[in-house]
Amino acid sequence: MASRLIVLALAAAAAASPVSRIQRRQAASVIASCTKPGVVALTFDDGPFDYTESVLDQFAAAGFKATFFVNGDNFGNIYDHASTVQRAVAEGHQIGSHTWSHPDIATLSSSALEEQMSKLDDALADIIGKTPTYMRPPFFSWNSQNLATLGALGYKVIHADVDTLDWQFDYPASIANFNNGIDAGGSIVLAHDVHAGTVNTLVPAMIASLKARGLKSVTVGECIGDAPVNWYKGGSTDPEPEPTPTPTPSEPSEPTPTPTEPSEPTSTPDEPSEPTPTPSKPTEPEEPYEPTPTPSKPTEPGYPEESNYPEEPTPTSSTPTEPGYPEEPTPTPTKPSKPPHSCYKKRQLKQ
């Protein structure tokens, strides 16, 4: 009996232990294609960066949505592009994690991977008030220990079944890779919003190709039928922050107080009994004509002078400003002092 009580006590302690709960969590699921018909998920890695605003402009014009797997410190620092990330969320795009600094997570311990994820989560909580539940491993590289750690942290792992290979800067080949992949039934597409050639050449080509096929680009969450409430942890459950309320013009300050009515001629009607007006009083009728103070009208009836809508960022022309294809290996106007990580090495689609 005593031994049974000990076993039960140990079981109860294990159930109460947060470590045991984490260990029992399932490994993260790996998702490589959409489940919803008629849609494609265009995804972009390694940003935000200087060209991301142009991607947003083009998607706004097309009525398409995308998913951005962002880094904290790679081609740019996320805090330097905070307004771009906020705009992406406000316009209905999805933000996912691509780790803080783009390491090969297969080389990391569980604690180092947790640090990469939580550092980016902290930045996104500061910037958009919530943190993603979708992540993409850099280089499409991971191992079973990574999946266990990411599952314990509550992430889905997003792969892709169409890789444009745009990091190779051969844009005609990237367009062909995209079209062939869609023809073969692919639906989650990988590109990078940190390359000028991708933004100026590949993005318009992908949008035009999807429209010609009667397909639409949506977020990864939508393409797998996952409700927006599940895309983020904490903060608002809506992927789009509440739109800025339309400033209701402050009610025109009460219609101008009726100017003090010109005091009626001095004779007061108190004495109706006297029909005959006494001629001795009409000497003071001027007093009411004291320049009636013109009630200071609000210069504009109370409407705010500026409507305080967030300024729309100056649209970056989506038309290539330079001939598109081979110009690429000098795209980055402001390279970080340490070379950024991109998918320049060991990039393969896992089957």
Q: How confident is the model at residue 340 (pLDDT cuts 50, 70, 90)?
A: low
- Compute the half-sphere exposure of residue 216: CA atoms within 13 Å on the CB side of its CA: 13
Q: Which among 45, 46, 161, 163 is annotated as catalytic?
A: 45
For residue 18, is it within any domain? no
Specify the DSSP class assigned to residue 318: -
Q: How confident is the model at residue 254 (pLDDT cuts 50, 70, 90)?
A: low
Mean per-residue pLDDT, 111-119: 98
How much is the pLDDT for 50? Answer: 97
The domain of 36 spans: 25-233
The answer to whether residue 301 scores a pLDDT higher than 50 is no
Between residues 225 and 348, the one the model is more confident about = 225
Terminal C-alpha separation, the chain: 53
Mean per-residue pLDDT, 113-121: 98
Token readout for 110 is: 């569980």
For residue 238, is it within any domain? no
Largest Cα–Cα distance of the chain, in whole Å?
120
For residue 263, is it within any domain? no
Specify the DSSP class assigned to residue 264: P
How much is the pLDDT for 342? Answer: 52
For residue 260, is it within any domain? no
How much is the pLDDT for 26? Answer: 86
Q: How many independent structural domains does the chain possess? A: 1
The reply to whether 45 belongs to the active site is: yes
CA neighbor of 226 nearest in space, from 242, 237, 236, 210: 237
Mean pLDDT of the chain: 76
Residues 44, 58: Cα–Cα separation, whole Å = 14
For residue 145, is it within any domain? yes
The answer to whether residue 268 scores a pLDDT higher than 50 is no
Which helix (H) or strand (E) segment holds residue 158: the answer is: strand 156-158
Mean per-residue pLDDT, 289-316: 42
Give yes or no for a contact between 207 and 64, defined as CB atoms under 8 angstroms apart. yes
Specify the DSSP class assigned to residue 329: T
CATH (domain of 170): 3.20.20.370
Exposed, middle or buried by CB within 10 Å (0-12, 13-18, 19+), for 150?
A: buried
Residues 56, 173: Cα–Cα separation, whole Å = 24
For residue 66, is it within any domain? yes
The answer to whether residue 270 scores a pLDDT higher than 50 is no
Give yes or no for a contact between 148 and 27, defined as CB atoms under 8 angstroms apart. yes
pLDDT digits (tens, 9 = 90+) for 193-238: 999 999 999 999 999 999 999 999 999 999 999 999 999 997 444 4
Q: Which among 81, 98, 102, 192 is annotated as catalytic?
A: 192
CA neighbor of 132 nearest in space, from 146, 121, 148, 123: 121
For residue 241, is it within any domain? no
CA neighbor of 50 nearest in space, from 84, 97, 95, 99: 84
For residue 252, is it within any domain? no
Residue 156 backbone phi and psi in degrees, to 5: -95, 145
How much is the pLDDT for 63? Answer: 98
Mean per-residue pLDDT, 165-176: 98
